[in-house]
Amino acid sequence: MSSAKFVYEGKEIDLPVITGSMGEVGVDISKLRSSTGAITMDLGYGNTGSCQSEIAFIDGEKGVLLYRGYPIEEMVGASFLDISYMLIYGQLPSQDQLTKFRKDLDRHQLIPENMKKILEGYPNTAHPMAILSSMVSSLSAYHPDTPEEVENNIVRLMAKLPTICAFSYKQSVGQPHIYPRSDLTFAGNFLHMMFATPCEPYQVDPVLEEALNMLLILHADHEQNCSTSTVRMVGSSGANLFASIAAGVCALWGPLHGGANQEVIEMLEMIQDDGANYQKYVDMAKDKKSGFRLFGFGHRVYKNFDPRARILKVQADKVLERLGINDPLLEIAQALEEVALKDSYFVERSLYPNVDFYSGIIYRAMGIPTNMFTVMFALGRLPGWIAQWRELHNESSKRICRPRQIYTGEPKRAFVPLDQR
Ligand code: SDX
């Protein structure tokens, strides 16, 4: 094993170097503090590996994304359940394994009836991500967190999340909940629960079903992003699956992460209302004082096109054309991308469109409301969160995640009782 030298105040230690299966190199600093008294600092963890994982691989410079070694571009035609099984259990399923997985999910896709009372307690104006995080956490009240139930709870969560997401949407529009069906695909079943009503038959549109299946696959995993790292952090304390995933839902909600897909559409609408003056918003994004960012642009890891954005840019055009929809926001997005990618500010910082830049255009075409976009991201990301939690849970050498800090507060001083202040 190769090593790296760390020299500090006359102390010199060799730190082991780990090399990943795709050639990534990591310096193992596990012994740094005990050998030198020093810790490292890395705001935002941009240079810090939190784990070794076999699930997803990203080459940010080349714009490469692999799920268990398979290139994202080659999976878009598969079924979301096929990809979910592969992410969670490590291998592409045989037909029998996939059939059994689907049957297992079918058996668990209803939520306990009295969980609907939790939903009904929310105002119709509640953000669906607030509902989602609490409903996921509440599943732990119905399904015990015992070692023998871990694998069953994984199936329960995969099966119930679409139902919870669709029920929260129906709650927000004041419509009756539409129960899941076992004769539809994962994507078709979700569209049915979202848009069917008891008053008339609902036919799943194959164009929407195919587009949703593709969107779910593209969002399924992305190595140690903010929400996945949160799932692992919470899981490292021994917290159960539902609690860990609920924490991931909350992390995803942020506008810099999964909440960006909602922000992108609101930004494009703002640009549209402002006479499609893209240059004004590109200039604002470059002006730090404006506090404005181009949502859907930039990425901590990709310093090239996000491969998912490449796929979505093509698919957005296709889906709208097949649906006969002319969404002016697509033209604004395409024009904004063209202007930004010619601007040295964006080129110098390697700021390219990310997965959130075009996804909202397709969700809109499906009739999904903007405040449900991040819920759609969570629905896609669920198998990745589960796979990462399960990988951590099954590790024999797992430790609780507990970073250190550098204290910059007051030096030690005597406490002053209230009557002497
Ligand atoms: C997702 O991690 C993942 O894998 C996430 C994700 C996944 O699948 O899980 O890919 C999903 O969250 C995608 C990202 C969605 N977020 C957005 O679109 C929000 C807008 N983008 C950013 O705020 C930003 O680019 C981040 C949050 C995505 C990345 O932030 P970093 O890595 O901390 O980069 P930074 O903020 O330090 O920016 C570096 C420079 C800064 O300028 P300088 O200080 O060098 O002058 O680039 C600038 C930033 O001001 N910059 C932007 C910008 N993004 C970065 N300037 C204008 N507009 C932007 N969007």
- The pLDDT tens digits for 304-361 are 999 999 999 999 999 999 999 999 999 999 999 999 899 999 999 999 999 999 999 9
Indicate which residue of 221, 299, 306, 393 is catalytic.
Answer: 299
Residue range 93-146, pLDDT digits in tens: 999 999 999 999 999 999 999 999 999 999 999 999 999 999 999 999 999 889
**Ligand 1 center–CA 354 separation, angstroms:** 9
Is residue 1 over pLDDT 80? no
Burial bucket for residue 289 (CB in 10 Å: 0-12, 13-18, 19+): exposed
Task: Tell which one of 66, 297, 373 to mutate to probe ligand 1, the residue whose CB is within 8 A of the most ligand atoms.
Answer: 297
pLDDT at 404: 97
- To the query of whether residue 299 is one of the catalytic residues in this protein, the response is yes
**Ligand 1 center–CA 298 separation, angstroms:** 4
Residue range 380-419, pLDDT digits in tens: 999 999 999 999 999 998 899 999 999 999 999 999 999 9
Protein residue closest via CA to atom 51 of ligand 1: 298
Share of the chain above pLDDT 70, in %: 100
- To the query of whether residue 104 is one of the catalytic residues in this protein, the response is no
Task: Tell which one of 349, 350, 356, 388 to mutate to probe ligand 1, the residue whose CB is within 8 A of the most ligand atoms.
Answer: 349
